[in-house]
Amino acid sequence: MAGVTIVVLAKSYKPAGRCLAGKVAVLDGSKKLRIGEWFRPVPNDGVGAIPEGGLVYSNGSPIKVLDVVELDSLGPVSVPGQPENHRYDQNIQWRYIGRFRHDCIGNLIDAPSDIWLEAGQPTNKVTAEYDRTVEMTHSLYLIKPENFLVTLKNTFNMYKAEFQKKLTASFDYNGIRYEDLSITCPSTRRILTNQYPAEGEEEKTFPLKKGDDYYLCVSLTPRFGTPEFHYKLVATIFDFDGYLQRTYAA
């Protein structure tokens, strides 16, 4: 077992709980943080959600995005399409180290050539075959989008026999348009909660207030469904002044 310190960059919604992820942080001799690779702590099953009650410190306060936290890692987990997954010791409390400055988010961005593109597939998902044929080094990226829009929907789900609200993102990255990525960012869902169309009304598409002045933490899900797919998500949306994550933390 080893202690690992991470800057929390995602605490997104997931069925039955949350998905937490961040980048490894090491305090050097000058007491500055050196930022390393992505790290996604997961329960013993390797892919499941962390319960809401499991994301608190010893004093009961919740872990927040941009917290710098220490946890105890039990080692990596082999999960197709999610190479950053590590089991953590659920019996030992998370330890608060400090806060990462919101105005330094730009120093953490990644530079992939594309966001998991697979020929012949929509830009919001890839097949299970993708992780078998492509060397998967990341299922998480922090990127700077262009032409960033959100869409709010309230459509009838035939499988559940009920209307269902959905929030999605579209954006350009490196000359490619990505569309219909589910937004699982709690802060963004909070600010838009009263803006969904009524049941059966047309969807609404618009930019957020700060246009393209956002960073996105994008994530790839484990395989699921029949046939199996990995779906692309927008796990966290960061604005340049820190207002969104500071005021609407959830």
Q: What is the pLDDT of residue 250?
A: 85
Question: Burial, 85: exposed, middle or buried (Cβ in 10 Å; 0-12, 13-18, 19+)?
Answer: buried
Residues 229/125, Cβ–Cβ less than 8 Å = yes
Residues 6+ away with beta carbon under 8 Å from 86? 4, 39, 40, 41, 42, 73, 74, 75, 76, 77
Model confidence over 141-155: pLDDT tens digits? 999 999 999 999 998
CA–CA separation, 215 and 143 (whole Å): 6
Q: What is the pLDDT of residue 100?
A: 94
What pTM did the predictor assign? 0.95
pLDDT value at 3 more than 80: yes
Model confidence over 80-128: pLDDT tens digits? 999 999 999 999 999 999 999 999 999 999 999 999 999 999 999 999 9
Q: What is the pLDDT of residue 2?
A: 80
Q: Mean pLDDT across the stretch 163-181?
A: 96
Look at phi and psi of residue 81 and say left if phi exceeds 0, alpha if psi is from -120 to 50, else beta.
left
Q: What is the pLDDT of residue 93?
A: 92
Model confidence over 178-230: pLDDT tens digits? 999 999 999 999 999 999 999 989 999 999 999 999 999 999 999 988 899 99
Bridge partners of residue 24, in order along the sequence: 6
pLDDT value at 66 more than 80: yes
CA–CA separation, 18 and 49 (whole Å): 5
Q: What is the pLDDT of residue 1?
A: 60
Model confidence over 116-130: pLDDT tens digits? 999 999 999 999 999
Q: What is the pLDDT of residue 44?
A: 82
What domains does the chain contain, in order, with CATH numbers? 2-103 (2.40.50), 107-247 (no CATH)
Look at phi and psi of residue 120 and say left if phi exceeds 0, alpha if psi is from -120 to 50, else beta.
left
Residues 180/205, Cβ–Cβ less than 8 Å = no
Residues 6+ away with beta carbon under 8 Å from 210? 239, 240
Q: Which of 215, 231, 229, 112 is nearest to 182 (CA)?
A: 231
Model confidence over 5-64: pLDDT tens digits? 999 999 999 988 999 999 999 877 666 778 999 999 999 877 789 998 899 999 999 999
> Cα–Cα distances in Å, from 245 out to 14, 44, 98, 236?
18, 29, 16, 9
Bridge partners of residue 239, in order along the sequence: 214
Q: Mean pLDDT across the stretch 156-167?
A: 86
Residue with tokens 């949306």: 237
CA–CA separation, 70 and 5 (whole Å): 4
